[in-house]
Amino acid sequence: MTMQWMTWTRRAATVCLVATLLPTATIAQSAPQVLFQTSLGDFTVEVYPDKAPKTVENFLRYVKDKQYEGTIFHRVIPNFMVQGGGYTVKYDEKIARPPVPLEALNGLKHEVGTIAMARTNDPNSARAQFFVNIKDNPFLNAKGPSDGYTVFGRVISGMETIQKIKDVPTGPGGPFPSDAPKTPIVINSASLVK
């Protein structure tokens, strides 16, 4: 009886310890979430600092600094992606911090609903602009250390808003000869919610 009692006591103590530590472990591993409120509706993305630490840090800094407020989705290609975060309604380009290094070889793929950093032909030129994939775009995935585009998160709610954005009429706008929404789609706010 004593041996059984000791075994049961040890098991109960272990269960209590695991139960006590589990919520902390779950909280520590939960991904940050950002709520975007736009003129066409809201959507929320979660970002993965374990996969793209410098990119996520950069993105969340822009969110905290309110950089995205008043910017627009300036490039909308219905069978590809929607891009925003860099221009105002008057197509003034917002001042951005120095670029972050490419983190495209992180295991995340360009699939429907993923969010990635926009950049120029220089792989290490991503600043503030981002895009959401409307469909799977495997040709954007990295094949080596200096190509591809960094996926750093995923839309977890409000994909219907992204679908609305993708369906707007487009044409020339500002410095862009095509693919600019005829009616501006404004990011009213972007805030960290988790």
> The domain that contains 40 carries what CATH number?
2.40.100.10
User: Counting every residue, how long is the chain?
Assistant: 194
- First CA to last CA distance, the chain: 49
Query: How many whole angstroms separate alpha carbon 137 and alpha carbon 149?
Result: 11
On whether residue 1 sits in a domain, the answer given is no
Contact 127, 97 (CB under 8 A): yes
How confident is the model over 165-190, as pLDDT tens digits? 999 999 999 999 999 999 999 999 99
On whether residue 168 sits in a domain, the answer given is yes
Query: How many whole angstroms separate alpha carbon 2 and alpha carbon 105?
Result: 56
On whether residue 18 sits in a domain, the answer given is no
On whether residue 145 sits in a domain, the answer given is yes
Overall number of domains in the chain: 1
Residue 86 three-state SS: strand
On whether residue 35 sits in a domain, the answer given is yes
On whether residue 139 sits in a domain, the answer given is yes
On whether residue 110 sits in a domain, the answer given is yes
Containing structural domain, residue 107: 31-192
On whether residue 40 sits in a domain, the answer given is yes
How confident is the model over 24-58, as pLDDT tens digits? 333 345 899 999 999 999 999 999 999 999 999 99
**Residue 194 banded pLDDT, cuts 50, 70, 90:** confident
How confident is the model over 72-82, as pLDDT tens digits? 999 999 999 99
Contact 141, 103 (CB under 8 A): no
Query: How many whole angstroms separate alpha carbon 189 and alpha carbon 12?
Result: 48
Query: How many whole angstroms separate alpha carbon 110 and alpha carbon 89?
Result: 28
| H or E, element range at 107 | none
Please return the burial class of 24, using the count of CB atoms within 10 Å of its CB with bins 0-12, 13-18 and 19+.
exposed
